[in-house]
Structures are given as structure tokens and as C-alpha cells.
């Protein structure tokens, strides 16, 4: 009877031991598989998720404001999504700068309507260019020209739009439309033109 109990005890112990071994093995396999899956996912994403923290003003406590996924290159997904827009904005700005540059090339003195001219601004200009630059101030505001030479010249400019006859502009619009800066610049250019040649530039020659 005692031997039967002893055999039953050994049998139970063996079963428990076998079950324990099976559980340990199963646990090891599970951990191994889990580790490989984690490594595989890491290799595929090549990135990690970081939690950014910020201090709430006046409280001295750390508050989680946002979590973002950071790629292996160190740039966030949020930054990556903004990049196409930033590139588009930069391209638009470059186009605007290029258009402005091309437009300025269409003027002899691009800033004659916004800043007072000095001798350095007109250094190197010919007698003809001084005359054209003076009339350029009027042409900006739509003055038409009786001179064929000036009419042909300004009508070749993309920015020019003739609105007022020469007489109408000089009588009714010149004093009202031209700014003080433009009036002073026109006088300055006229004086420079006549200083270079007593009679000024002769049109339609």
C-alpha cells in the first residue's frame, strides 16, 4: 500500500516537473519570437517615438504637450509634412523676386518714384538716358507722349499704359498725381540733362 502511494507521489512529481519544463520552454520560445518581432518592426520603421515635455508657466510642473514620431534622420513626421509647403512658398518667393528683378530691368531708374536721386544714381547715364529717365517718371502715371521716339520707347515696356494726353496730363494731373519725391527727381534729372548739354536731349532726330 505504501509502495503504491510512493509510486503515485513519484508519478505526480514527474507530471508537475514535466509541466514546469514545458511552461519554461514555451515561455522562452514566446520571448524569443516577441524579441524578433520587435527587432523586425524597429528595422522597418528605423525610428522611434519621443515624448516632448514643456514646463507650464508659473506652476513649475512638467506637462506633456505632444508626442511625435521621429525618423532615423532626426526629422519629425510633422516637419516632413510641412516641407512641401515650405518648398512651394520658397519657389513662389523666388518667382516673385525674379519677376521684380525683370521688371526693374525695364526701368532706367527703378527707384525714381520712391527715393530722392543723387549724383551717384545717375553717374554714367548718357544725355539720352537722362531724358528718358525724366520722362519715365511721367510714364509711370500714364502720360502719353507727342514725341514718336518717346512713344515708341515707352510702348515697348510691359509696365506702361498710356492714359492721358501730354497736354491733359501736364495741365490737370501732373501736380496732383506726382509725389513730392517724383517732382523733385524730375527737376533733378532735367537740370542734369541741361547741365550736360545746354539745349538738353533733342528728340526725334
Distance from the Cα of residue 31 to its chain's centroid: 51
Closest by alpha carbon to 114, among 124, 105, 104?
104
Reported as a single tens digit per residue, the pLDDT across 54-76 is 445 555 544 444 444 444 455 55
**Cβ 150 vs Cβ 135: under 8 Å:** yes
113's torsion region: left (phi>0), alpha (psi -120 to 50) or beta?
A: alpha
pLDDT number for residue 135: 98
pLDDT at 113: 97
What mean pLDDT is predicted for residues 171-191?
96
User: For position 6, what pLDDT does the model report?
Assistant: 57
Cβ pair 82, 58 in contact under 8 A:
no
From its phi and psi, is residue 57 left (phi > 0), alpha (psi between -120 and 50) or beta? beta
- pLDDT tens column, 113-168: 999 999 999 999 999 999 999 999 999 999 999 999 999 999 999 999 999 999 99
Q: Taking the domains of the chain in order of start, what are their residue ranges?
A: 119-196
Which tens digit of pLDDT belongs to each residue from 75-126?
555 666 677 777 777 776 666 655 556 567 899 999 999 999 999 999 999 9
Query: If you search the block for the grid coordinates 516641407, which residue do you land on?
Result: 83
Residues near 142 by Cβ (< 8 Å), separated by ≥ 6? 161, 162, 163, 164, 169
CATH of span 119-196: 1.20.58.1690
Amino acid at each position: 500500500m505504501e509502495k503504491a502511494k510512493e509510486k503515485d507521489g513519484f508519478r505526480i512529481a514527474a507530471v508537475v516537473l514535466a509541466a514546469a519544463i514545458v511552461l519554461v520552454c514555451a515561455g522562452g520560445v514566446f520571448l524569443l519570437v516577441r524579441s524578433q518581432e520587435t527587432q523586425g518592426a524597429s528595422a522597418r520603421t528605423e525610428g522611434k517615438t519621443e515624448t516632448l515635455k514643456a514646463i507650464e508657466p508659473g506652476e513649475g510642473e512638467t506637462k506633456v504637450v505632444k508626442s511625435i514620431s521621429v525618423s532615423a534622420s532626426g526629422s519629425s513626421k510633422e516637419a516632413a509634412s510641412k516641407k512641401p509647403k515650405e518648398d512651394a512658398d520658397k519657389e513662389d518667393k523666388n518667382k516673385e523676386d525674379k519677376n521684380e528683378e525683370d521688371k526693374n530691368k525695364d526701368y532706367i531708374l527703378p527707384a525714381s518714384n520712391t527715393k530722392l536721386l543723387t549724383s551717384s544714381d545717375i553717374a554714367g547715364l548718357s544725355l539720352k538716358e537722362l531724358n528718358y529717365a525724366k520722362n519715365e517718371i511721367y510714364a509711370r502715371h500714364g502720360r502719353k507722349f507727342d514725341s514718336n521716339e518717346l512713344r515708341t520707347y515707352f510702348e515697348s515696356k510691359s509696365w506702361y499704359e498710356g492714359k492721358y494726353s501730354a497736354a491733359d496730363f501736364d495741365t490737370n494731373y501732373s501736380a496732383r498725381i506726382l509725389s513730392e519725391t517724383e517732382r523733385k527727381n524730375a527737376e533733378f534729372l532735367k537740370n542734369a540733362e541741361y547741365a550736360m548739354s545746354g539745349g538738353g536731349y533733342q528728340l526725334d532726330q
